[in-house]
Structure 1
Amino acid sequence: MRIYIIVSVVFFSNCIYEAQAQSGAGLPVQFIQFFKTYSLINPASIGKDSAIEFSTGNKSLTGAFSGVRTFYANANVQLNARGKNKSKHVLGLTFINDKEGSFINRNRASLVYAFHLPISKKSTVSAGVSAGFINYSYKASNISAGGSAFAPNADIGLWLHRSNFNIGVSGNQIIASKLTPIDETYTIERHYNLTADRTFLLGPYLTLTPAFIFRWYDQEYYNADLALILLIQDQVTTALSYKYDRGVSVSGGLEDVKLGRNVWKVMFSYYFPLGSVNNYNPSAYELSLCFIPGVHRRGSNNRGSEMEEEE
C-alpha cells in the first residue's frame, strides 16, 4: 500500500510539472473567462466600470485532475468617485489560490492601485501597479517533510478605455522571484499580456464583443485566446472562446441582474481540449460571480443607448 501511494504521488507530481511546462512554467493560471478577469491581468483596469466592485471565481480541472483548482477573490473601490469626467484613484485587493490535490498550495495576494485620467469626453487612459507576495507551500506527508516559501511580486500596466473599446498592456511578475519551498527551486517568470476588446451594436438590445488576449514570456512560449461574447437584452450573455492550438470553451450567464439597488453578474464556462484528451490538457469548468452595489454603479444599464452615444 505504501509503495502504491508513493508511485501515485510521484506520477501526479510529474503530470503537474509537465502541464506547467506546456502552459508556461511559473506563470499564473489563465482563466477561461479572461474577459471577466482583466483586474487579475492588468492592474490599470480596476475601477473602469464601477465605483465599488466585488468579484470571485473558481476554475476546476476534471477527470484525473479533479483535485486541481484555482480560486480568486477581488475587490476595488474608487477613492474619489465624484464626476464622470474627473480623474480617479482606485484601490483594490486581490487574492488567488492554486490548489493541486491535498498537498500543494500556491497563494498570491496583492494591493492594487490605478489612476484613471480622462483624455477626451469619451476616452480614459489609466496606469496601475500591484504589489504583494507569492507563497508556495507543500503539506507534509508520509514521504515528504513539506515546506513553505514566500517571495515578493509586482505587476504594472497601462489601459485605454472607451464605452465600446478597451486595450491594455501589462508586465506581470516583473520581479521574477525564486522560491525554494522544498528541494526544488521555482522561478516566478516575468511575462507580458496584451488584451483588447471591441463591442459592436447589432440591434437595440443585441451586442457582439470580440475579445483577445496574447501572453508571452520568451521566444519559445506564448499563448493566445479569442472570445466572441454575445449580450442579449443587456442581461443574457453567451460566449465562444478559442485557445490557440489547445481547445475551445463555451460560456453562458446573466449580466446586470438587479436585486434591489444592487447589480449581480454570473457566468459558467466549460473548456473542451482539442485533439486527443491527455493529462496535460484536461477539460475544465469555471464559475464567476460579480457584485456591484447599485448606489455606486456608473452610467446607464442600457448598453444599446451607450453604444449609440459612442458611435
Structure 2
Amino acid sequence: MLYSLLRPAIFTLDSERAHRLTIAALRASPSKSPPPSGALAVSVAGLDFPNPLGLAAGFDKDAEVPDAVLGLGFGFAEVGSITPLPQAGNPKPRLFRLVEDKAVINRMGFNNGGAAATLDRLQARAARKGIVGINIGANKDAADRIADYATMTRVMAPLASYLAVNISSPNTPGLRALQDESALTDLLDAVFEARGEKGPPVFLKVAPDLEPADIDAIARIALDSGLAALIVSNTTISRPKLRSHHAGEAGGLSGAPLRDLATQRLRDFRKATGGAIPLIGVGGIASAEDAWERIKAGASLVQLYSAMVYGGPGLPRQITTGLERLVKREGYQSIAEAIGSE
C-alpha cells in the first residue's frame, strides 16, 4: 500500500536514478533472515530452495544487496551480470519504463564494477545463509569472450551457490552468437574445465528469440554437457503491440508483454529436453498465478525483476503467499508435485 502511494513520485525520476535509490534503500534496511522452508520448498541441482521465487539478474549487478533481497521473501537471489573488467555499459539513457504496458526496455550493456570489486562483497557475506547465484558475462571489447567466461568461472565459483552463464543479452553485440551449436559447445567445455569437478552447479540463460532448430540444439547440448538447469528466458528483441511512447527504443523488452513468449519457450524447452533437466521460468511473471502457470508448464523455479518496478518490495511475499494458497487448493502436499503437471 505504501509503495502504491510512493510510486507516482518515484516514476517522476529517471529510471536509472530510481534504481540506484532503490539499491541504496535496501543497503540501509535492517537485515532479515531468508524465508523459512515449507510447502514451497523445492530442490534443484542439489540446492534446497525455501521457495521457488527468485530475483533475476540485472537488479543487483554488483552484489550490493543480495541478503536484503532474500529478506524481502525471495527464495534465492541472482546477482550480476558481472564481467572480468569494469565496464560503463551503453550510453544513457538506456533504461525505460513502459508504464502503460507494465514493461521495461533496457540496453544497459553489462554495466558493472567488474569482478574484483564484486568479489570483495561476496567474500564478506560468504558465511551467511541463503542461495545467491552469480550471473557471469564477457566484456564487450574482449578479444576472446569464451576466455572471459572461463575466467569468471574460476574467480566466482568458490563463492557461488550456482553460476549462471549469460549469453542471451541482446545489448552486447554478437553475444547471442554464442548460442550457436558449435560456439556453445566450446563455451561450456571451457566453463566446466574452469569450474573443476567439485564446483557449483552451472545454469545457462537463453534468449526467447530462438528458432525451433536452435531450441533442439541447445537442449541436446544441455543434456550432454552436464548443465544443471536452463534459465528460460532473457529479454526479447521482438516488439508485440505496445502502447507506450518508448515502444520504439532499442534494447531488450521485459515485463508483461514478454509473458506469452517466455511461457511458450519454457514449454518448448520442456518438450525438447523431455523434462530431463530443470528449467527456470523468467519473463512477464508478476503474480502468483503467473508463477503457478510457469511451474505447471515445467519450471522448477521462477524469477522476476521488471514486475518489482510496478509491484514494489511487497510483491515477493504476495506471490509466495498466493503460491501457498494454490498448492493447498490444488491438493498438493508440496509445490514440487506441481512441476510440469499441465
TM-score, normalised via structure 2 length: 0.33
Q: TM-score, normalised by structure 1?
A: 0.36
Q: Larger Rg: 1 or 2?
A: 1
